[in-house]
Amino acid sequence: MSTPTTGYRATRPPVGDFDPGTPSYEASGGDWDEIAREVVGEERIVVNMGPQHPSTHGVLRLMLEIDGETVTEARCGVGYLHTGIEKNMEFRTWTQGTTFCTRMDYLAPFFQEAAFCLGTEKLLGITDDVPERASVIRVLMMELNRISSHLVCLGTGGNEMGATTVMTIGFTAREEILRLFEAATGLRMNHAYIRPGGVAQDVPDGFTDQVRRAMKEVRKYLGQLGDLMLANPIFKARLTDVGTLDLAGCMALGITGPVLRSTGLPYDVRKAFPYCGYETYDFDVPTGTNADCYDRVVIRVEECYQSLKIVEQALERLDATTGDPVMVADRKIAWPAQLAVGGDGQGNSLDHIRTIMGTSMEALIHHFKLVTEGFRVPVGQAWQTVEHPRGELGVHVVSDGGTKPYRAHFRDPSFNNLQAVSVMCEGGQVADVVVAVASLDPVLGGVDR
């Protein structure tokens, strides 16, 4: 038996019946995925794709065992972006929790905020007290966010396959939406705009007209993307019958979102378990039939058009409710929602501060305690789901009666969907791994939270 000085830790026993003339190798030290092992009659090697790789949609590590160009085994390695968000939320007030959960999936911040706040409102028993205008604003922001998230998925996925123009168009269209977010919340991402009881503040004057102008541009860019991708025979041939995962596989692995709907099952939380008044909006749930990467692209493009349809309805409702409150009336829960920005574009204006301080000393003290200590939430637990761009996002919030969550746990769709990597990639080509991962559209901020 020969023992090369490779420094590897793992050992490889002889294959088949022992033959003194057949060489075998013993290794010690290092990671298993660094080992190149020689087997009688074939050669296989384990390589890393990531965690720093432009085709992994973040710091995702894919450990691939390949035989020539064929993937024989695929494993995911996560945890490189761990932030401890869920644990940190246990040490902040319920309102401050939105500043943490919004940073999980950084491409879809409004969905995490909405899920957490809806769960908190269940515990508080104020679900029906949230003003209609606040719910409409939530729906508007989430649907705009769905479009912007899908645009990143389509753009980066196209770029990974060599279609750079797809990425430039996708990101140009996304900029139109990020400007809207900045106009309404002050930030392009990580907004903490949706809060327990409503939203942080009303949309600015003229916002609905601004959205309508931006949506005309977004619709134009979506048309260009459709021409470049869906009508492109090269693009279609590259994605058709790649990364297939049937309905049985999705159900077994807990896969949701566009990947599940590509199998033909029209499961959408907005239809199955409506929230924020989604049952009053007119929209369809696109599905596919081939359960492959191409179907998932088609579904995401169509979902953008359906979101535009919802946005138009939300804008009409905003125009009809101008001046209505956007925060619950209970001052023991509600943070001030009618803010005025200072002349430097930051903080509150001096006039607003004078109003707060000059109205009532008791009101000022109460506001100080509400911000520093937070409101108390009755003992209990709640489960809330929303339809995230990547699938079903769930949050389990638990209260021990204090001003901070006892536990806040999120079911992030990217984390569950990554379980499909091995099923979708094994037996295919190395190049198809990039296509399959792009069709899952994982965001590692949500996975590692």
pTM for the model = 0.85
- What's the pLDDT score for residue 160? 84
Does residue 367 lie within any of the structural domains? Answer: no
Query: 8 pLDDT exceeds 50?
Result: no
Does residue 345 lie within any of the structural domains? Answer: no
Mean of pLDDT values over 17-46: 52
Query: 174 pLDDT exceeds 60?
Result: yes
Query: 351 pLDDT exceeds 80?
Result: no
99-128 pLDDT per residue, tens: 999 999 999 999 999 999 999 999 999 999
Does residue 56 lie within any of the structural domains? Answer: no
Distance CA(133)–CA(96), nearest Å, equals 22
Whether 404 contacts 353, CB under 8 Å? no
| CATH code of 406's domain | 1.10.645.10
The phi and psi torsions of 41 (rounded to 5 degrees) equal 85, -10
Q: Which residue has the higher pLDDT, 358 or 403?
A: 403
Query: 34 pLDDT exceeds 70?
Result: no
Q: Which residue has the higher pLDDT, 96 or 55?
A: 96
Domain limits for position 312? 85-333+375-448
Q: Which residue has the higher pLDDT, 360 or 258?
A: 258
- What's the pLDDT score for residue 397? 95
Query: 362 pLDDT exceeds 90?
Result: no
Residues linked to residue 380 through DSSP beta bridges, in sequence order = 399
Does residue 355 lie within any of the structural domains? Answer: no
- Mean residue pLDDT of the chain comes to 85
Distance CA(359)–CA(261), nearest Å, equals 54
Query: 276 pLDDT exceeds 50?
Result: yes
Torsion of CA 92, 189, 309, 413, to 10 degrees: -60
- What's the pLDDT score for residue 43? 65
Q: Which residue has the higher pLDDT, 436 or 40?
A: 436
| Pairing state between β 70-77 and 194-195 | unpaired
Cβ count near 108 (within 10 Å):
28
Query: 2 pLDDT exceeds 50?
Result: no
Lowest-pLDDT range of 127-136, 140-149, 333-342, 367-376: 333-342
Q: How many Cα atoms within 13 Å fall on the side-chain side of residue 269?
A: 19
Cβ count near 391 (within 10 Å):
28
- % of the chain with per-residue pLDDT over 70: 85
Which strands, in side-by-side order, build the sheet including 391-399?
380-388, 391-399, 407-411
Q: Which residues of 212-236 are buried (b: 16+ CB within 10 A; e: fewer)?
A: eebbeebeebbeebbebbeeeeebe
- What's the pLDDT score for residue 356? 67
Q: How many domains does the chain have?
A: 1
Does residue 7 lie within any of the structural domains? Answer: no
Does residue 19 lie within any of the structural domains? Answer: no
Does residue 436 lie within any of the structural domains? Answer: yes
Measured CA to CA in angstroms, residue 21 lies from 1, 14, 17, 278 at distances of 9, 11, 11, 71
Does residue 220 lie within any of the structural domains? Answer: yes
- What's the pLDDT score for residue 18? 45
